[in-house]
Structure 1
Amino acid sequence: MAFIRCALLLFLVQLPTLATSSTHGDRNLTPWCHPDQAAALLQLKQSFLYAATTATLLPSWQNGTDCYLWEGVRCDASSGFVTELDLNGYGLYSRHGLDPALFSLKSLQRLDLSMNYLGDYSCNICGNQNFESLTYLTHLNLSNSYLVGQIPIGISKLVNLVSLDLSSHAIFGDGDFTTVDGSFNYLQEPNFESLVANLSNLRELYLDGLQIMSSSGEDWGKAFAKSVPHLQVLSLRRCGLNGPIHHSLASLRSLVAIDLGSNYFPGPVPEFFADFLNLSVLQLSDMELQGWFPQRFFQLKHLRVLDLSSNPNLSGHLPNFSHSNSLDTLRLDGTNFSYYKPSSYTNFKQLRELTLDGKFISKDFLSSVGVLGSLCQLKITWMDSQKYLGSILSWIGDLGNLMSLELYGCNFSWTMSSSIGNLKALRNLKIFDCNLPRPILYEIGNLINLQSLEISGMFGCKLHGSLTSSIGNLTNLRSLYMENCEACGTMPSAVGYLINLRRLEIWGNTIYNW
C-alpha cells in the first residue's frame, strides 16, 4: 500500500512536466505557419483590389491567426514555411501584376494563381517579377490569369519545375494575336528555346494561346529534344507556330498527350507520333494538315482522344475498330475521311464523344450504330445543306445514353420520322442552320431532362410552324437561346412554365403575339 502511495505521489510531482512535454509533442505534430510567412501572405492579400467572384476577399486570411488554416495555403510541418499556395478561381484582381511579397515565399513548391485577373508582368510599380527566387517550385500554374506582356525570364530558371502552365483562351482578331480580354502574352526574349533550356525535369508544358515569336518548327522541335527529354504532356494550341513539325520530336518517347491545334503546319501528319506507344491524347485540329492519315494510329492501345477536325485536305478511313481499343473521343468533322463498310466485328463500344460530317451518315454507317450504346456526345455537321435527309437520322433515338447532341446545316425531309424525343437522358441540344419540321419541334418537348436548348439560323418555320406549347414540359431547362430564326411565329405562353430558366436570349427573330 505504501508503495502505491509513493508511486502516486511521484506521478503527481511529474504531472506538470508530462503535460508540458505532451503539449510540445502535439505542437510538433500540428503544422503551423511561420510569422514572416503570414505577414507576406497578408501583404499579398492587400495587393488585390477586390474579389470578382466572392463576397469577401480571402476571409480566413486574418492577422493573428495561424495561416496554416487559411484557405489555399499549405505549410511544412517542421519549418512552418508555406509550401503550397492554391488560389485558383478566387476572383483576385490586381492592376499592377504580382506583388513582391509573393516572391519572399521561397519555400513554395506549388503555386496556382490561375483563373484570376493579375495584370501586367512588366509593371514597374510592383517591382520585378522575381520568379527565379522560387527555387523549390515544381508546379506553376498561371493559366487564364490575364497576365500580359513578355513572359518573365525568371521562369526559365526554375530548374525543378515538373509542370508549367501559362496557357490562355485566345483568339486571332484584326491580324493580332490576343487573348479574349484583349491582353497579349508572348515569348520573345527569352525566346522559346531559352524558356525550356534549363527545364530538364519538366513533364507537363501548357502554353496554349501564347505567341511564340521567331521560332521555326526546327528550332522549337530541337529545343524539346535537347532540353525536356522526359516530357509527357505538350500543349501548344494556337501559338502562332509554323511548320513543318520537325522529326527531332520523335525522341520524346514519353509523350502521353499532344495538342498542336490551330497552328499552321501544312503537310502530312508526322507518322512518328504513332511510335509513342503510351500516347493517350492526340489533338491536331485546324492545322492545314494534308495527305493520308496513317491507319496505325487507330491501333495505339492507349489512344483515348483523337481530334483531326477542320483539316479539309486530310484524308483517311474511319476504321471498323474490330480490335480492342480505348478510344472514347473521336472528332473528324471538316476532314475528307471516308468510312469502311462495317463488318460483324465493328466495335464502337468505348466511344463517348463522336463528331462527324453528315456524309458519314449512310446505310452502311447506320448498320453499325447499334454498338454506340455508350455515346454521350454527338455532333453532326452537314456540309451539303441542299441535300434532304429523310428517315436516315431515325436511329438517333436508340442512343439512350446521349447527353449532348449538336446538329449543324441539316436539311431534314418534311416527311421524316423523328426519334429525338426518345433521348430522355439528353441535357444539351444545339441546332444551328437547320430546318426544323414540325415533328422535330414537337418532340423537343419530350426531352424532360433538357437543361440547355440553343437554336440558331432555323429556316422553314414560316411554312411548318414555330415552337410548340410542348416546350412547357421542359421544366429542367436553364438556358434557352434562339437567334435568327426567321418568321417563327408566336412564342408559346408555355414558356412561363419553365420554372428553372435562368437565361433567355432571343436575337434577330420575327416573333409576335408573345
Structure 2
Amino acid sequence: MGWILVSYLIFFQSLLLHFSSYQCLSCNPDDKSVLLQFKNSVAVVEISPSFDRCDSYSPKTASWNNETDCCGWDGVRCDSELGHVIGLNLSCSPLKGELLGSNSSIFKLRHLKQLNLLSGDLYPSPIHSAIGDLVSLTDLTLYYLRINGDVPSTISHLSKLEHLDLTVESLDSTPRLDSYTWNKLIHNATNLREISLSGVSMSSVGESSLSLLTNLSSSLLSLHLTDTKLQGKWPTDIFRLPNLQEIHILLNENLRGELPNSNWTSPLKTLFICQTNFSGDIPDSIAHLKSLNSLSLFESNFDGFIPPSLFDLTHLIFLYLSDNKLVGPIPTQIIKLSNLLILDLSGNMLNGSIPLGCYSLPSLFILSLSNNQLTGSIGEFSTNSLKYLELSNNKLQGNFPNSIFELQSLINLNLSSLNLNGVVDFHRFSNLTKLEYLDLSNNSFLSVNFENNFHYILLNLQYLDLSSCNVSSFPNFSAPHLKYLDISYNIIHGSFPKRFQENLLLFWKEISYIDLSFNKLQGDLPILPNGIRYFTVSNNELSGDISLALCNATMLYVINLAHNNLTGLIPQCLGTLPSLWALDLQDNNLYGSIPDNFSEGNAFKTLKLNGNHLKGPLPQTLNHCTKLEVLDLGNNDIEDTFPSWLETLPTLQVLSLQSNKFHGNITSLGTKLSFPRLRIFDISNNYFIGPLPTSYIVNFQEMMNVNHNQTGPKYIMIVMKGLHRELTRILTALTLIDLSNNMFEGEIPKAIGELKSLKGLNLSHNKISGTIPLSLGKLTKLEWLDLSWNQLKGEIPMTLTNLNSLAVLNLSQNQLEGVIPTGGQFNTFDNISYVGNPMLCGFPLSRSCKGNKGRSQGSTLDEEESGFGWKAIVIGYACGTIFGIILGYNVFFAGKPQWLARLVEVVFNVRLPRTNNRKRVIRLGRN
C-alpha cells in the first residue's frame, strides 16, 4: 500500500507546481467597466408572474460589483482566452432604463455573441442603430414587453446571427420592420436558424420578400411570425424548406395562402396557421409530415372534408381545426391517434355521428366538437383522462350519457343547445369533484331534477347554466366558489325558499351573476349578497316592494326586475350606485317619482322605467348620466314639459317619452349639436303643441348618416337573453321618429328629408297642415311612413315613388287631392292607405280620375283609426324586414297589442314578455 501513497503524493505535488505557475483568467477590465456602467443606468422592476418564459425572476445584476470578477457574475459569460464578455443573458431579470437606447453602454461590448434582454419598462422605447456594431452576435433575443419605432436597418449588419427574437407582448407598442431591412437581413444572415418576430409590424413585407426565406433552406429550423400584420399571399415554398420544424403564423387576418398539395419534405413538428385568411382544403399530402405533433389551423377559411390521411400522423398530440368551413363527417380513423391530448373541431359544418374513437382515446383531455351539425346520440365514454368536454350547439339527441358521471377529471362540461332528453338528477354531479363549469342550457326535452332531501357540495363549481332545462324547483347545494348561476326560462314556481336565501348569503359567497328570469316566481324579491354584479329576475310574478337592502349591493352593474307585479317606490339609492349601468324596471306597478339624485360621473347606459305609474316632473339630475344610451320612460303618468336639457347627453341613442302627460311647445336650448347620437325619438301620445321640433330634426346627425361606421348591426345592450336580445339588436339597427297623437301644427319641415338613414316616420293624429314636402322622396331607407289624421292638402309628390324600401304607407284622413302616383312600391299599397281623402283618385281607389266620382272602397270604414292600426301595419310588414323592426319596437317599448306577441309566439315558437292590461289605451282622433 505504501507505493500507492507515494504515487498520490507525487501527483499532488505536480498539480501544485502547475497551479503555482498559472494565472487565473480574469474579466477584461474595459468590459467590466461597461457592465457596471450599464448596471447603474437601469433598474430591476417587477412584472406579471404570467410571463411564460420564466418560472421565477431574479435580479441578476445584484451580484455585479467592483470587488468580484465579472466572469463570475450572474448572466455574464466570458471567452476562455482574453476574458472578453461574449454572453449577456438577463432574460428573467426585467429591467427599466436605457437598455438599447442611444446612451446604452452595451454597444461597447464588441465581442458579444449572445445578448438576451427582458424589458419591464412602462414606456415604449426604440432600438438604436448602434445595434449593428455588435457584428459578432449569433444570438439576439430582445423579448421586450414594450418596444416601438422602426427596427434599424443596421440590424442587417449582424451577418453571423443564428437566433433572432424580437417578440413583443405589449398592445401599446408596435415596432416596425420594413421590407428593405428584412431583405438585407435575410440576404446577409445566411445562418439564421430561428426567427421570432411576433408582434412586430411587417405590413410592408410582401410575397417576394417572404420568398427570400427559401435562401435559408439549409439552416432555418423555426419561424414565428404571429400578429405581424402580414398581408398578401404566403409563399407555398416555405412549407417545403427541408429542415424547418416550427411554423407559427397566427393573427394575420389579411394573409392569404394555401397548403401545398405535394412535396412536403420538411420535418415539421408544429404547424400553427390560425386567424388568417388562408383557404382551400386540407390536402392528403399533409400525411407526409410524419414528425408532426401539433397542428392548429383554427379561425381561417379552410374548407372541404377532413382527409382521413391526416390520422396517419400518429405523433399528433394537438389537433385544433376549429372555426373554419370544414364539412362532412369526422373520419373514423381518429382512433389511430392514441397520443392525442387535444381535439378541437368546433365551429365548422361537420355532420354525421361522433366516431366511437372519440369516446375512447386514452390520453385525450380536451374534446371540443361544439357548433357543428353532428347528429345521433352521445356515446358512453371509456376514457378517464377527459378534463374539457364541449359538444354544444349540435343536433345530438337521446338520453343524457351516464358515463359522464364517471369522468373524475372533468373540469368543463358544455352540452348546451342540444336535443337531449330524460331526467338528470343534479346531485350526481357532486361526484365530479373537479368540475368548475357546467352548461346544460337550452335542452328543452331534458329535465334537471333538484328534488331530493339531502344537501350536497360541489366544491369547485364556478359556472352553472341550466336555462331552458325544465327545472321545476330551486337548486339546493353548497358551492363556495360559485360565481355564475343561470336558471332562467324554466318552470320554477312559488316563493323563494329559505334554503335558497341561505345559499345566497352563506354558501355562494363569490357569486356575481344570477339570472332567474322567465319563470313563475312569486312573493318578495330575495336579499342579494353584497358582491353581486348582475341580477335579473324579469318576467315572473313577483310582488311587494323593492327593498332598500338592494342598496347594500354596491357592486351591481345590471338590475333587471322588469315584467313583474312589483309595487311601491323606486329606492332613491339606485341613482347613486357607482357601477350600475343598466336598470330595467319596466312593466311593474311602481309609483311615485323617479330618483332625483343621479350622481355625477355615474355609469348608467340603460334606464328603462316604462310601463309603471310614475309621476313627474323629470329629475334634472338625469343630465349627470353622460354615458346614457337608452332612456325609456314611456307609459307612465309623468307630467312635465319637454326635457330640453337632455339634448346635451353625448351618447343618447334611444329616447322614449311616449304615453305620458308631457305638454307645451318643444324648444331647443340651442346646443351646437343637440342629441348627436339619437336614433329613436318617440314622444307620441302626449299633449305637445305648437310646430314640429324642427330645431332638433335638423341636428339629428346619426339619422343623417347612411353608412354608419360599424362592422355589424348597431345595437344597445339590454339585459335580455335569446330571442329578446336579437330583437333588441334589430330595434336599434333602425332609426325612427314617432311624434304621433299630439297636437302639433304647422307644416312638415323640408329638413326632414336630410335624415337619410330614417326607417320609420309617424306624424299621425296631429294638426299638421300644408303639403307633403318633396324632400321626403330622399328618404330612400324609409320603410314605414304614417301621416294619417292630419290636415295635409295638395297632391301626393311623385318623388315618394323613389322610396323603394317603403313597405307601409298611411296617408288616410287628410285633405289630399289629385292622382295617386304609380310605380315602385306605390303599386303594392291598398286603398286603406288613402281613405278619408275625398279628392284623391286613381289606383287603388275605385274613384276614376276621368270624372268618375264614385265612392272609394273603404270610405265607409268607421272612424276608429280608419282601420289602419298596428294590426294593419304588421300585416303590411309580414313579407319584409319591417316585421322584425316593429316586433323589436313592440318588445322594447311598452308593448303594443298583445295579439302581436301571441302571433310571434306561434310563428317562432317562443315566449314573449306580457304587458299589463291596465296600461293606457293609445289616444286617437283627438283632432
Specify if TM > 0.5.
Answer: yes
Q: Which residue of 2 aligns with 1:3?
A: none
The question of whether the paired residues in 1 share the 8 Å contact of 2:346 and 2:371 is answered with yes
Deviation sequence 1:185-240 (CA, Å, 0-9, x none): 1113744223322110001111112111322223322x222466532212212211
Query: 2:173 is aligned with what amino acid?
Result: S
1:340-379 mapped onto 2 (5 Å cutoff): 346-357=335-346, 364-379=353-368
What is the distance in 1 between the residues matched to 2:338 and 2:463? 32
What is the distance in 2 between the residues matched to 1:148 and 1:64? 37
Q: Which residue of 2 aligns with 1:502?
A: none
Q: CA deviation at 1:318?
A: 4.6
The question of whether the paired residues in 2 share the 8 Å contact of 1:430 and 1:454 is answered with no
Q: Which residue of 1 aligns with 2:150?
A: 150
Q: Secondary structure at the match of 1:290?
A: strand
Q: Secondary structure at the match of 1:37?
A: helix
Structure 1 gap ranges (5+) = 1-6, 170-178, 473-479, 498-504
Equivalent residue in structure 2 for 1:51, among 29, 34, 45: 45
1:208 aligns with 2:192: no
What is the distance in 2 between the residues matched to 1:189 and 1:360? 39
The question of whether the paired residues in 2 share the 8 Å contact of 1:358 and 1:383 is answered with yes
Deviation sequence 1:43-93 (CA, Å, 0-9, x none): 222222441146967432233123333322222333322222222232322
Q: CA deviation at 1:298?
A: 2.7
1:261 aligns with 2:246: no
Q: Which residue of 2 aligns with 1:134?
A: 134
Equivalent residue in structure 2 for 1:398, among 362, 382, 390: 382
Q: Secondary structure at the match of 2:345?
A: strand
Q: Which residue of 2 aligns with 1:471?
A: 479
What is the distance in 2 between the residues matched to 1:87 and 1:468? 54
The question of whether the paired residues in 1 share the 8 Å contact of 2:353 and 2:376 is answered with no
The question of whether the paired residues in 2 share the 8 Å contact of 1:432 and 1:455 is answered with no
The question of whether the paired residues in 2 share the 8 Å contact of 1:298 and 1:319 is answered with no
Q: CA deviation at 1:321?
A: 5.8
Equivalent residue in structure 2 for 1:38, among 32, 35, 55: 32
Query: 2:305 is aligned with what amino acid?
Result: G
Q: Which residue of 2 aligns with 1:280?
A: 269
Q: Which residue of 1 aligns with 2:83?
A: 80
Q: Which residue of 1 aligns with 2:523?
A: none
What is the distance in 1 between the residues matched to 2:109 and 2:35? 8
Q: Which residue of 2 aligns with 1:234?
A: 223
Equivalent residue in structure 2 for 1:460, among 456, 467, 474: 467
1:219 aligns with 2:202: no
Distance 1:507 1:373, change over 3 A: farther
What is the distance in 2 between the residues matched to 1:373 and 1:167? 36
Q: Secondary structure at the match of 2:118?
A: coil
Q: CA deviation at 1:269?
A: 2.5
Q: Secondary structure at the match of 1:149?
A: coil
Query: 2:117 is aligned with what amino acid?
Result: L
Q: Which residue of 1 aligns with 2:19?
A: 22
Q: Which residue of 2 aligns with 1:197?
A: 187
Q: CA deviation at 1:491?
A: 4.5
What is the distance in 2 between the residues matched to 1:119 and 1:209? 16
The question of whether the paired residues in 1 share the 8 Å contact of 2:87 and 2:114 is answered with yes
What is the distance in 2 between the residues matched to 1:461 and 1:235? 45
Q: CA deviation at 1:496?
A: 6.5
Q: Secondary structure at the match of 1:192?
A: helix
Q: Structure 2 length normalisation: TM-score?
A: 0.44
Higher relative contact order (CA 8 A, sep 6+): 1
Structure 2 gap ranges (5+) = 1-5, 48-56, 438-459, 490-499, 511-530, 538-549, 554-927
What is the distance in 2 between the residues matched to 1:422 and 1:246? 48
Q: Which residue of 2 aligns with 1:172?
A: none
Q: CA deviation at 1:463?
A: 6.1
Q: CA RMSD in A?
A: 4.4
Query: 1:400 is aligned with what amino acid?
Result: N
The question of whether the paired residues in 2 share the 8 Å contact of 1:95 and 1:118 is answered with no
The question of whether the paired residues in 1 share the 8 Å contact of 2:376 and 2:396 is answered with yes
1:279-428 mapped onto 2 (5 Å cutoff): 279-319=268-308, 323=312, 325-338=314-327, 346-357=335-346, 364-382=353-371, 392=378, 395=380, 397-404=381-388, 416-417=400-401, 419-426=403-410
Q: CA deviation at 1:337?
A: 2.4
The question of whether the paired residues in 1 share the 8 Å contact of 2:239 and 2:266 is answered with no
The question of whether the paired residues in 2 share the 8 Å contact of 1:97 and 1:118 is answered with no
The question of whether the paired residues in 2 share the 8 Å contact of 1:215 and 1:241 is answered with yes
1:502-513 mapped onto 2 (5 Å cutoff): 508=534
Q: Secondary structure at the match of 2:479?
A: helix
Distance 1:341 1:439, change over 3 A: same
Q: Which residue of 2 aligns with 1:71?
A: 74
Q: Which residue of 2 aligns with 1:176?
A: none
Deviation sequence 1:126-151 (CA, Å, 0-9, x none): xx442222222111111243111111
What is the distance in 2 between the residues matched to 1:40 and 1:286? 45
The question of whether the paired residues in 1 share the 8 Å contact of 2:306 and 2:327 is answered with yes
The question of whether the paired residues in 2 share the 8 Å contact of 1:350 and 1:374 is answered with yes
What is the distance in 2 between the residues matched to 1:416 and 1:268? 41
The question of whether the paired residues in 2 share the 8 Å contact of 1:342 and 1:365 is answered with no
Distance 1:412 1:87, change over 3 A: farther
Q: Which residue of 2 aligns with 1:113?
A: 117
Query: 1:68 is aligned with what amino acid?
Result: C
Query: 1:111 is aligned with what amino acid?
Result: L
Query: 2:107 is aligned with what amino acid?
Result: F
The question of whether the paired residues in 2 share the 8 Å contact of 1:319 and 1:339 is answered with no
Q: Secondary structure at the match of 1:357?
A: coil
Q: CA deviation at 1:373?
A: 0.8
Q: Secondary structure at the match of 1:327?
A: coil
Q: CA deviation at 1:347?
A: 0.7
Q: Structure 1 length normalisation: TM-score?
A: 0.74
**Paired-residue identity, %:** 24
Query: 1:207 is aligned with what amino acid?
Result: L
Larger Rg: 2
What is the distance in 2 between the residues matched to 1:188 and 1:216? 10
Distance 1:313 1:216, change over 3 A: same
The question of whether the paired residues in 2 share the 8 Å contact of 1:121 and 1:151 is answered with no
1:100 aligns with 2:94: no
Deviation sequence 1:359-414 (CA, Å, 0-9, x none): 78877433122441111333343257xx9x9962x64x533223455676579989
1:185 aligns with 2:185: no
The question of whether the paired residues in 2 share the 8 Å contact of 1:484 and 1:509 is answered with no
Q: CA deviation at 1:304?
A: 1.4
Query: 2:30 is aligned with what amino acid?
Result: D
The question of whether the paired residues in 1 share the 8 Å contact of 2:330 and 2:352 is answered with no
Distance 1:455 1:73, change over 3 A: same
Q: CA deviation at 1:355?
A: 0.9
Q: Which residue of 2 aligns with 1:173?
A: none
Q: Which residue of 1 aligns with 2:160?
A: 160
1:448 aligns with 2:438: no
1:90 aligns with 2:93: yes
